[in-house]
Amino acid sequence: MSAVLNLPRWYDLHTHFRQGANVGAYIADHLGMGCAGALAMPNTKPPVALIHGPDTDKAWSIESYRNILLQAGADAFDQLIIPLYLTADTTPEMIDKGAESGLLRACKYYPPHGTTNSEHGVPMENWIGGDVFRALEANQITLCIHGEQHGLAGSEYFDENQTAESVFYSEKLPAILDAHPELRIVCEHITTQDAAEFVSTAPARVGATITPQHLLYTVGHLIQGLRYHLYCLPVVKFEKDLAALRKAVTTPGQSKFFAGTDSAPHTTKATECGCAAGCYTGGCAPQLYAMAFEEAGVDLGNEAGEDLFTRFLSTNGPEFYGFPPSPENFQMKREPSTVETRETGEGPIVPLPVGMERELTWTIVKESV
C-alpha cells in the first residue's frame, strides 16, 4: 500500500479549547495535526451564552471568546465556529440578531448535569416546539446536540440493553425532527448503534460527529485497568456499537458522518470522588482516525479507501456547515509515532493513546503543503 496520504486539511467540528493559560497550547496541537478550522465548544466557566459582549459574571459572549481564541493562535484557522450554549436565558431575539450579524452559526444543547460544565443546560423537552428552536429553523442555524437523556440513574443510565444515549435517540430525536421540519442538526459524538442507525436513515439535514475513541475502543478497554484517560461522555460502548459506527463512516459515498474529536483537555482527570469526562486527542486525532479506518478493513492505500477517509475527515463536515473544504493539504505517512504527556502549569494532560497499549501507526509529516 502507498505509505503516504496527501489529504485536504481537515476540520475538527467538535473540540474544546477551554480558557486560561493553556488555550494557545491546545490550539497549537490542533494546527500541528493539519487542522484547518474548528468548532470550539462553549462549555467554559462561565458558559458562552451571549452573542455580543460585554461579558458578565454569568456568561461570556461568542464575540469575546472568539477574540480570546484568535489571540491565542486560532487566527491561523480558516474557520472558527463557536456555538451558543443554550441556557434558560436564551431568547429567539438573540438567535435572530446573532444570525443577522453572522457571529452565530450554531447552538449547543447540553443535558443538564449530564457532562462537564453542563449545569446550565435546560432539558430538551423544554425546547421542543418552542420559539428558540423555531428561530434556529428560520435562520438555518445548526443545532449541535449532546444526545443523552438527562436525569437517569443506574441501569436506566447504562445497561447492555439501554443507555442514556439510546433513550434519547429513540424518544427525543424523532420528536425534534417532527416538530421542526427545517432544523439542521448535528448529533454530536454518537456512540451507539441506535444513534448511528437513526442518523443514517434521517433526512439530509441531520449529520453526526464521531470521535476517534468511539471508533477504536469499547467499554472493556476502559474498565480493564480502569484506564480513566479513556473516560469521556457519552462513555465508550459495546462491540456492536463500535461495529455500527465503523459501518457508518466506511459506507461508500456517505455524507452525514464527519470528524469531531471532542478533544477535551482536563488538567485534573481523577478527582476526589470521581473522574472528569473527556479524552485529549490534540496532536494525534487524524492518526487515530486512520487506525480506526484500517481496523474497519479500509485500505487507505487505494483510491476508494482514501476517498472514504477524506469524506469523513476533510469534506463532509464543511459541506454540512456550508463552507468550502480546505484548498490546502496536509500529509500523513504510515509509520509509527508517539505522543507525549503534556505538562501544563495546572497539571498533566495525557493524550490518547498513552497507556492504552496501542502505538500510533501513522505520523503527521507536514501540517500544511
Q: Which residues bind ligand DOR (CB under 6 A)?
A: 16, 43, 115-117, 146, 232-233, 262, 264, 277-278
DSSP letter for 53, please: S
Where are the extended beta strands (E) located within the chain?
4-8, 10-15, 35-40, 48-50, 60-61, 79-81, 84-85, 106-109, 142-145, 185-187, 206-210, 257-259, 270-271, 274-275, 329-333, 342-344, 347-349, 363-366
Alpha helices in 251-346 (DSSP H): 285-295, 303-310, 316-321
Residue among 135 and 222 whose Cβ is closer to ligand DOR: 222
69 touches, from Zn ion, ligand DOR, none (C-beta below 5 to 8 Å by class):
none
At 100, the amino acid letter reads E
Nearest distance, CB of residue 235 and ligand DOR, angstroms: 8
**Residue 44 binds which one of ligand DOR, Zn ion, none, with CB within 5 to 8 A depending on kind?**
none
Whichever of 7 and 107 has its CB closer to ligand DOR, that residue is 107
Q: Which of 115, 54, 69, 61 is nearest to 85 (CA)?
A: 61
Neighbours of 142 (CB within 10 A): 24
Please, what sign has the CA dihedral across residues 75, 95, 200, 162? positive
- Number of residue whose CB is nearest Zn ion: 262
Cα–Cα distance, 243 to 223 (Å, whole number): 19
Q: Which is nearer to Zn ion, 69 or 332 (CB)?
A: 69
107 binds, among ligand DOR, Zn ion, none (CB under 5 to 8 A by kind): none
CB count within 10 Å of CB 4 equals 11
Which of 115/142 has CB closer to ligand DOR?
A: 115
Among ligand DOR, Zn ion, none, the one that 263 touches (CB under a kind-dependent 5 to 8 A) is: none
How far apart are the C-alpha atoms of 227 and 235, rounded to whole Å?
A: 12
Closest CA to 316 of 204, 212, 173: 204
With beta carbons less than 8 A apart as the criterion, state whether 112 and 118 touch.
yes
- Pick between residue 27 and residue 277 the one whose CB is nearest to ligand DOR: 277
Binding site for Zn ion (CB under 5 A): 41, 262
Of 115 and 149, nearer to ligand DOR (C-beta) is 115
Distance CA 226, CA 231 (A): 9
CB of 172 to ligand DOR, least distance (A): 16
Q: Using CB distances below 5 to 8 A depending on partner kind, what does residue 146 bind out of Zn ion, ligand DOR, none?
A: ligand DOR
Place of cell 456547515: 321
Phi and psi based region of residue 311 (left: phi greater than 0; alpha: psi -120 to 50; beta: remaining): alpha
Q: Torsions phi, psi of 33, nearest 5? A: -110, 30
Q: To the nearest whole angstrom, how small is the minimum distance from the Cβ of residue 46 to Zn ion?
A: 17
Q: Which residue has the cell 459515498?
A: 253
The entry of ligand DOR, Zn ion, none that residue 43 binds, CB within 5 to 8 Å by partner kind: ligand DOR
Active-site entry in 194, 262, 299, 307: 262
Q: Choose from Zn ion, ligand DOR, none: what does 232 bind? Cβ within 5-8 Å by kind.
A: ligand DOR
- Amino acid at position 86, single letter: L
In the complex, what is the shortest distance from the CB of residue 110 to ligand DOR, in angstroms, rounded to a whole number? 7
Q: How far is the CB of 41 from Zn ion (least distance, A)?
A: 5
Q: Quick one: 117 or 337, whose CB is closer to ligand DOR?
A: 117
Does residue 12 have an active-site annotation?
no
Please report how close the Cβ of residue 211 comes to Zn ion at its closest, in angstroms. Answer: 9
Q: How far is the CB of 325 from ligand DOR (least distance, A)?
A: 26
Among all residues, which ones are annotated catalytic? 262
